[in-house]
Structure 1
Amino acid sequence: MLTFAYAVILLIITPGPGVLTTAGFGAAYGFRPSLRYVLGLFLGTNMVMLAVITGLAAVVLSVPWLRVVLLAASTAYLLYLAARIALAGSRIAFIEAKSPPGVLGGIALQAINPKAYVVNTTLMTGFSFAPDNFAFEIVAKVLILNAIWIPIHLAWLYAGTVLHDLDLPDRTHRVINILMALAMLAVVGLAAWSATLLK
């Protein structure tokens, strides 16, 4: 169980679309207004988790043309975000938010977020700690995952609001932007790699 919890921390804390946009909305709108978006991400994550547990995700992703469409849409979106981050000026620009975040925006992101599917599939199908009681193991995994997911995303949201208020040099802003863009590109690479495993 501890190994599973450790894996959850490592897989969720790494930058992906969810945490990067969470920090971006925190920087743009502040902590409290962005909680609606984080709630959407939370609901979306749990919907993806349910789709993985029930096998619905495997069924949907087994349709070749649909898998290609979803992969193309998510890859294009992630590349767009990476470009926006890397090419931003001297401000930290996780994303440029033009409208207040909402619950539906968070749910929608998780629905096309390849990292959400990869992470949930990895966690739900691996790291078995109660092989004789499948129901207990799944319920325990869901509870542990959510107990870790919530504070990590709230920490990223807080980090975005703090970074917004810091007066960092332009060079530091640029380095942060490029590092975050590279993290987004790594997610794109992971999505492409996971797609080859599903064939």
Structure 2
Amino acid sequence: MAGFLSLTQPWQQVLALVFAATVVMGSPGPATISVTAIGAAFGLRHSLRYTSGIILGTTMVLLVVASGVMAIFALLPGMAPVLAIASAAYILYLAYRIGASSGVADLGISTRLVVLALMIVAIHVLWLLAGAAFARFLRRPLASRIINLIFAATLVLTTALAAWP
């Protein structure tokens, strides 16, 4: 695997970046689970604004990390717990809303950012489509309630796992 990631051709570096981004950003986490849950609860068309917000927010986080702003936060040890608590509170709020609802080396930084931003869009759209596929099961109130509670519990679990040191 290390040999694959150390290839020097630009297209190989892009492919390695896409592969790594797919594994890291595509795995279930708070953002992807919430997009899937919203898609399941409200359908594709009604979930596009929410998904767009998640994509924009994730892209902004990417830019903040790439710009070095996170290094500044690392220098302020008191900020980390505040940010973690605020993030966890927001994700718990999303989990509540979902549960209560009825229904690479030589590439330039700009190239990497564009590739990662496109991956953010693609991955979240795929999770949204997966959630929207659940929408037909949500026509029955009991099935809807069970699925929403599963999504909410999964969101809380992935958040707890992400926050666990």
- TM exceeds 0.5? yes
Identity %, equivalent residues:
32
1:129 pairs with 83, 105, 111, which one?
Answer: 105
Q: Confirm or deny that 1:157 pairs with 2:128.
A: yes
Amino acid at match of 1:156: W
CA gap of 1:19–1:61, structure 2 versus 1, over 3 A, is same
The answer to whether the 8 A contact 2:59-2:120 is kept is: no
Q: Provide, for residues 25-72 of structure 1, a one-character-per-residue CA deviation record: whole Å limited to 9, x for no partner.
A: 212322122111121112211211111111112212432222111112
- Any residues of structure 2 matched to 1:21-170 within 5 Å, and which? 21-78=34-91, 84=96, 94-97=98-101, 128-130=104-106, 136-166=107-137
The answer to whether the 8 A contact 2:33-2:154 is kept is: no
DSSP 3-state at the match of 1:158: helix
Tell me which residue corresponds to 1:90: none
Tell me which residue corresponds to 1:110: none
CA gap of 1:96–1:140, structure 2 versus 1, over 3 A, is farther
Amino acid at match of 2:133: V
Tell me which residue corresponds to 1:181: 153
TM-score normalised by structure 2 residue count: 0.71
TM-score normalised by structure 1 residue count: 0.61
1:5 pairs with 7, 18, 29, which one?
Answer: 18
Shift of residue 79, structure 1, vs aligned partner: 5.2
Distance across 2 between alignment mates of 1:175 and 1:38: 19
Distance across 1 between alignment mates of 2:75 and 2:43: 40
Shift of residue 139, structure 1, vs aligned partner: 1.5
Distance across 1 between alignment mates of 2:101 and 2:111: 36
Distance across 1 between alignment mates of 2:153 and 2:77: 29
Which structure's residues are more often helix, by fraction?
Answer: 2
The answer to whether the 8 A contact 1:13-1:152 is kept is: yes
Amino acid at match of 2:127: W
Q: Provide, for residues 54-100 of structure 1, a one-character-per-residue CA deviation record: whole Å limited to 9, x for no partner.
A: 11122124322221111122234445666x5xxxxxxxx954458xx
Shift of residue 7, structure 1, vs aligned partner: 0.9
Amino acid at match of 2:105: F
CA gap of 1:144–1:69, structure 2 versus 1, over 3 A, is same
Distance across 1 between alignment mates of 2:147 and 2:99: 16
